[in-house]
Structure formats: structure tokens, C-alpha cells
A and B are shown apart, each in its own frame.
Chain A
Amino acid sequence: MSSTDLLDDLTRREYPHGFVTSIEDDQAPPGLNEDIVRLISKKKNEPEFLLEWRLKAFRHWLTMEEPVWWPKVSYPRIDYQSIIYYSAPKPKKQLKSLDEVDPELLRTFEKLGIPLQEQQRLSNVAVDAVFDSVSVATTFKDKLKEMGIIFGSFSEAVREHPELIQQYLGSVVPYTDNYFAALNSAVFSDGSFCYIPPGVRCPMELSTYFRINAANTGQFERTLLIAEPGSYVSYLEGCTAPMRDENQLHAAVVELVALGNAHIKYSTVQNWYPGDKDGKGGIYNFVTKRGRCAGKGSRISWTQVETGSAITWKYPSCILQGDDSVGEFYSVAVTANRQQADTGTKMIHIGKNTKSTIISKGISAGRGQNTYRGAVKVLKGADGARNYSQCDSLLMGDRCGAHTFPYLDVRNPTATIEHEASTSKIGEDQLFYCRQRGLSEEDAVSMIVNGFCKEVLRELPMEFAVEAQKLLGLSLEGSVG
């Protein structure tokens, strides 16, 4: 097959998760005002403090302007009054167990490859599934409870552990942080909550699956993860959405708090609907993710594989506050067709002897635009801070773009900061070598791409790594440069 045929093949490829599930849902009218905020809070039976916080966030949001000037992405202005801010699968009655979950819903998750019941028995991954904006099922809850681990939907945590929410909500990403974080703080409907008690090593991977189903809705989930001193947790999230012609907004906030010597590993495989080959439809993925290494020796690692979304705009960051704390960021971002990604990280070194590593791999194909934007900031007190950054870009096709914007801001002379970046295409010689060893052109490209991303993929938990490799293969099928 010639490379043009391959490219055609790629553009004809269907988004495999693009079905719509017909489920009755309970929706708020479109538009955003204080009443909607109150309505969301009321629907969820929230305590007073949370409603107050939402309202403060909403009022602050009104004073902010959408950042249109600095991200290297372009999109038509979003009409925030035409979005539905709350959409939930209609509750038939209070759910007691998985068996009572709408079978239609369960079939959806099965189609997505997350058979909740199966998974409970077969694998060792506890899943919290978020459908549109509401968390529908959490598996393995009891087993985790025995160890004192709290894992479940955010609304549940608000009901059962309001003290933890009150203490930590907004402590890493305050509602004043940015436009989309403020919006999320005002209207977030659900999300996941996780608490690991001191010294506990979470015995299984915790996982959340996000799905946008209803039309015209925005998904605004909020994840809060707290790891007490000496604990460890590995957390995964995955996302899909149906194919729709309109763009849908996804503005999530993720907050991680790692206390002394705690280690949080947060992995994302993001595969929201990217839009069709002409850039029609797709998800706007405007996400704020940040972790705080609050104690001595705490460690947060972000791993992300971003293959979906029409626009990805997120910077999972680490505030390295505790001495000897470690921040890591491993990312693969793929943009094909007309996808745009402006992603990277921010490492803020505050404590002494803090270390950070950034490995970013960008792959652009078709007319995709891929931007790495990262900041490494070393404050005055951060003696002995160490950073290593590596950003590599792979270009496939002559109409795509790869951009690198590292910001290095160093205010301590004992810091050592290194940044390296390279941009190249798949070498003819590399392809030739693989071809003469009997591999097809497609297999050769897939092999080279996987090799290019190896340093990131190996950071993913095994099950996810397999999925991520498949996704990469799918996204880039045929994009021979």
C-alpha cells in the first residue's frame, strides 16, 4: 500500500467508541447562572460550605477572561450559555449494588471494554466509572475499605467525609487558578475521591473511567486524591465520548496531595472523540491537573498518553514543596487530522534537593499541531534543585506542526537545569532497515513510533501500556512521512 493509500485509510478510520447510549437522563436546562450552581449543589445534597465555595468560584469566574492569547490552539469562542452543566443518568432508585445499575449503562461500559462485574472478579483493578457527570459504579469498594482506603465518587465523599473535602478541596488548585478551573469549581458535578491512610500501600490499581454521553453537555469532574505519609497509590484514568458534530467541553480539575514520603502515580489514557478528518466535532479537553508534594520525600509522577480530543490543553504539574520531593512527568501526545494539543508540565521547585524529570514525546501527523509548553521554576530556597527535561517531536507529513516552548526560570545558583529537545521525522534509513528485515511499512512505522515512546509507555501500568500501544497504532495508522 502506498503512503497516500495508507493516509486515506487512516482518515477513514472510525472512532471505535463513538456510539451513543440511549438512556434517560436528568438534565439541567442549558446556561449558567447562580441558580444552576445552586441546583447542582441541591441535586447532590451538598453541605453549605460546598455551595458557598461553588458560588465564590462562580462569582470569581465572572470576573475572569477566557485565555485566548497564549495557548497555541485556535477554536471558535465557546458559548457558555448553551452548555448543559448537569446531566445524569436518571436515577430509578438508590443503588444498592452493581446489579441495580441500569443494564443499558453496564452494556455501554462493556462496549468500552470495562465490564465492571467481570473486572471485579478477574482483574485487580478497582474502577470508578463516571458517566456524563455522575459516578455510576465503583467496584472493589469493600475490599479497599478494610484497609482504610476511601475510593469512590466525589459526591459520596462529600456526604461521608466532608471534613477531608473541606480541608483539601481547592488546596492545590484554588478556584482562582485559571478560567477553566474556576468554571469547574462552580459547576463540577462529580468525580472521584481517593484517600490512602498513612503507611498503606494500595494493593491494586485504582481506576476511573470517564464517558461523555449526552449531547451539548459539558463534563466537569473533579478528582481529589490524598496520600497520607508513607503511603503509595497508582491511579489510572481513561476517557471516551460518542461521535457528535458539535464540540463538547471537558474542563476537569485533578488535585493530588502527597504528604511525607507518600508516592502517587497518576496515569491517564485520554481518548476523547477527536473530531472527524475535517476537524468537525470533538472534545475540547481543557484540564487543570496539579499535585502538591507537601512533605519531605514525597513523590508524584504523572504519565499521560493523549491520543484523543479535538483540542487538548493541559499541564499536569508538581509543586515540589517538601525537601527531597520528586516530580515526574511522562507524556506522549499524538495529534492527527486536525487535532491540536498544547500540553506539558510545570515543575515548581520550592524545597531543598527537589528533583524533577520531564519526558515528553509529541507526534504530529496529518494537519495536527502539537505543542509542548513546560515551565521549570526554581525558587530562591530550592538549594540543590535538579531538573532534566527532554522533549522530542516526531513529524509525519508536511502539513503538521511541532512546537516546543520550555520556560526555565532559575533563581538559585545551586540548581542544575537541563533541557533538550529534538524534532525529526522517521528516518528513511530506519524504515529501510525494518523493510529489508521483512516488516511491512506499517509495522515498521508502528515499531519505530513505539520505540520513540518507549520511555513513557514503560511508566504505565501493564494493562494500560497495552491499551496505549494499541491506541498509538490506531491513531497513526498509515501516517508514513
Chain B
Amino acid sequence: MSEALANGYLESLLQGQSNLPRSPRGWLNTLRADALERANALSVPTTRDEEWRYTDLSPLYQKSFHHAPPAALPARAELTAYAVPEAGCTLTFVDGHFVPELSTACADPALTVMPFSAALAEQDPTLQAHLARHAVLGDDPFVAVNTAWLQDGVLLRVHAGRSAATAVHVLYVSTRAEGASYPRLLVVAEANGECTVVEDFVALQPAAYLTNGVTEVALADGARVRHVRVQRESIAAFHFGTCAVRIGRNARYLSSAVALGARISRFNLNITQADEGAESVLDGLALIRDKQLADTHSMLDHVQPHGRSRQLFKSIVDDTAHAVFNGKIFVRQGAQRTDSAQQSRSLLLSPRARVDTKPQLEIFADDVKCAHGAAVGQLEAEQVFYLKSRGLDEASARNLLTFAFAGEIIRGIALPSLARQLEHIVLQQTQKQTSYRNIQ
């Protein structure tokens, strides 16, 4: 593909961006203009870029997507299937726009939830201090395009020293074919604040559309954030997501990211352990089939001493699907006593499935404990044999083991209703020949 065509693609995504209403806040206009300039300077990635070497985006470039406000809002009833009863409030985005009518107000005194428009009107200093400060305009064209389209998003603030009793559920709904949506979420946990955030990307029809979301999470000293991210876009969709996290002193960030949908999905998880004693625990699962491609790139940067991180990424790949995992771990020169471990495990279910995994350790400090491991393979013959010896047939044994493989990640999600929903999806995908009813 020629460079010219590639450049043209970003331009097509930015078409109409100039019609965005100007914000009364100058800094936001500057931010958008910078992002536009950045996006114009970048070209869309090809497999010649090291960061994209396994992810061929040419199917995306053959389609065109346009950003527009939602034509008609979905009825509440259409969204009940995605409800998370444990959540205290739900924030709903439709085609990238925050829709207060479909959202519920947040009654938790530990939290302030407001759309960017309200935060801008109140001149909330948090917004300006954090927005686009964590997901910076680097070489990623998708972050630049999202930022150029920055219009409404949601600011979630966790008050200092307060712990939210219930989770916040953020639902991103796509309704239109050929639509492009650019949702934006900013989570700011003040010192010693604690909360749980669930991000859920869903589709109301099996259409081809583009989601390009950016989430920023800032944890002040001693804060704790549990972050669950479920990507269940339509099987024809294209999904690009970036989550940028900054972890302060003795703060703790826990993430579970599950990728189930989309024709091509790419999730960038960029974590900076910016101060001493920061900790992160990252779980990831990709369960894909057909022609799906799921790409997860994580970047875990240990900047200061005494950091700790644990990462477990699993993929289950069927048919001609293709899973990509690239896990970078940096330990900077001063980050002594860092303790970091990363595991990547992949299960190939079909002869034409493909996995590319690239754990990456870059260490510049000497007093550290770092390890990574990667394994790719099929189900263990001994395990299948054991289950068969207990009376299960071959297919059930395999399905059960596959289910258990995914279960390790799903069980880590602390919201029972969501975990059940996910388990159900995994069951549906793993039960190929036999029925699972007897185990359910």
C-alpha cells in the first residue's frame, strides 16, 4: 500500500473535524489543534512498522467510516442485556457520544461523575490537569485522531480518602454501520481514593464500524483502581483502544481486559509506575475465532524504586484467527528493587490459527527481579486423557479444559454478574460439537 493512500486514510477519518463547535476553553481548542496537526503529520501504520508488524490493517483501509452524532438513541430495553446490577451507576456512550438520558446518576458520595461539558462549564481544574496528559500525542495516529475529535467524554473523580461502595459502569454502544466513534474517559483517583470501573464495548447490530477510544487513569498516592475492560464489539467492527495509566506512590492499579469481538482489534495498555512503591496487576484474555485478529500491546514502565507488577495474558485462538501479544517491560535506571513478572499463554485450537507473542524486557537497573515467560501450544494430552478416563467424551474434555483456561482470567473479575456473562460467552464459543448444558 502506498504512503499516499495511507495518509489519505487518516484524512478521511478527520473529515468534518473542522466543523466541531469551538469550546469556550482555549486550552481545549489548542489541544484539538495540536492533535490535528500531529495526526496530519502521521501516517497510518503498516506491517513495516515494528509496533504493527503482525497486525495488517489493510482490511480497515478498504472501508470508510464517518463520525456523526447518533441518528436515533437505542431504547433502554435494548441495553438491559448488558446491565451490571452491582454497579452504582451507568454511563452510556452511543456512537462515541455521552448520552445522559441513558445514563444513571451517580449517588456515591465518594465519586463525582460529570460529562466534559459540565466540567468545562465549571472550569474544573482536574480536567485540564489530566486530560491528554497521560495518553500523550506520540506516534500513535489513533490517539491523535481521537484527541482531534475530543468533544464530550466523561470525567470520573474519586475523592481523596474515599472508597466507592459500588462500581461505575461505562457502556459504549455502537448502533450505526460505517460510523466512527471516538469515546473518551478520564478517571482521576485522588490520594487514597478507591474505585472500580467497568468499561464495556458492545454493538446492537453486527455491522462494520470503527471504535477508537482513549481512556486515561491517574492514580494519586495510595489510590486504588480496579479497571475491567470488556471488548465485545460486532464481529465486523474495527476497534482501537488506548488506556494510559499513571500510578503514584504506593498506589495500586488492577486491570482485567477481555477481547472477544471485532474483526480487527488493537488494545494499547500503557502504564507508568511513576513513583515509589507503585503496583500493577494486569490480566488479559483474548478469545477469538473466524477471521478475527486481536492485538494487545502493553507497555509497563517502572520509573521509580520498589515497584511491583504482575501480568498474565492469555489467548484462545480458533479457526483462522490471529492473536498478537506484545508486552514491553521497562525498568529505568533508578528503579531499583523492582519486582516484575509477566506470563503469556496461548492456546491454539485449529490448524490455521496463529499466535504471535513478543514479551520484551528492557532493564537498566541492576537490583531487580524480573521474569517473563511465554508458552504457545495446544491442550495437554495428559489432561484430556484424565478427563476422558473420568467418563467425558473427547469434545467435552477439550471444551472443559478450554473453559478452565479462560476461567483463570474471568474469575479475577470481581463483579459476579459480569463474570457470569463472560463465562456464558466463553461457553458458547468453546462448545463446538457438544452441548455444555450438563456442566452449566
CB distance from A376 to the nearest CB of B (A): 9
Known A408-B357, A408-B374, A417-B376: A425·B367 in contact at CB below 8 Å: yes
Bitwise, B347-377 to A at CB < 8 A (1) or not (0) is 0111111111111111111111111111111
Cβ 8 A contact of A393, one of B355, B356, B363, B376 = B363
Q: Interface residue count for A (Cβ, 8 Å)? A: 36
Residues of B within 8 A of A396 (CB): 366
A418 to B369, CA, bound (A): 20
Is A402 a contact partner of B361 (Cβ separation < 8 A)?
yes
- Which residue on A lies nearest to B355, using beta carbons? A410
Known A405-B358, A410-B346, A415-B377: A421·B363 in contact at CB below 8 Å: no
Cβ 8 A contact of A422, one of B350, B353, B370, B374 = B370
**Is A414 interfacial (CB-CB < 8 Å)?**
yes
**Is B333 interfacial (CB-CB < 8 Å)?**
yes
Is A70 a contact partner of B356 (Cβ separation < 8 A)?
no
The range of chain B's interface size is 35 or more
Is A423 a contact partner of B358 (Cβ separation < 8 A)?
no
**Is A397 interfacial (CB-CB < 8 Å)?**
yes
**Is A281 interfacial (CB-CB < 8 Å)?**
no
Known A70-B50, A403-B361, A404-B360: A425·B368 in contact at CB below 8 Å: yes
- Which residue on A lies nearest to B377, using beta carbons? A416
A32 to B278, CA, bound (A): 55
Is B366 a contact partner of A419 (Cβ separation < 8 A)?
no
Cβ 8 A contact of A421, one of B352, B361, B376 = B361
CB within 8 Å of A: which of B262-305? none
Bitwise, A414-441 to B at CB < 8 A (1) or not (0) is 1111111111110000000000000000
Residues of B within 8 A of A406 (CB): 358-360, 374
Cβ 8 A contact of B369, one of A409, A415, A424 = A424
CB within 8 Å of A: which of B89-127? none
Cβ 8 A contact of A410, one of B348, B360, B367, B368 = B348
Q: Tally A-B pairs: CB < 8 A.
A: 116
CB distance from A13 to the nearest CB of B (A): 21
**Is A450 interfacial (CB-CB < 8 Å)?**
no
A190 to B71, CA, bound (A): 73
**Is A316 interfacial (CB-CB < 8 Å)?**
no
Known A398-B333, A413-B349, A417-B375: A425·B366 in contact at CB below 8 Å: yes
A420 to B361, CA, bound (A): 11
Residues of A within 8 A of B373 (CB): 418-421
Is B358 a contact partner of A407 (Cβ separation < 8 A)?
yes
- Which residue on B lies nearest to A417, using beta carbons? B376
CB distance from B87 to the nearest CB of A (A): 38
A56 to B346, CA, bound (A): 43
**Is A224 interfacial (CB-CB < 8 Å)?**
no
Is B374 a contact partner of A419 (Cβ separation < 8 A)?
yes
18 contacts between A and B (CB under 8 A): A395-B366, A398-B333, A398-B367, A404-B372, A405-B360, A406-B359, A409-B354, A409-B355, A410-B348, A410-B356, A412-B348, A413-B348, A417-B375, A418-B374, A421-B371, A422-B370, A422-B371, A424-B370
Known: A398-B333, A421-B372. 13 other contacts (CB 8 A): A395-B365, A402-B361, A403-B361, A405-B360, A406-B358, A413-B349, A415-B348, A417-B375, A419-B373, A422-B370, A423-B363, A423-B370, A424-B370
Question: Top 6 closest A-B pairs, CB basis?
Answer: A413-B348, A395-B366, A419-B374, A417-B376, A404-B361, A416-B377
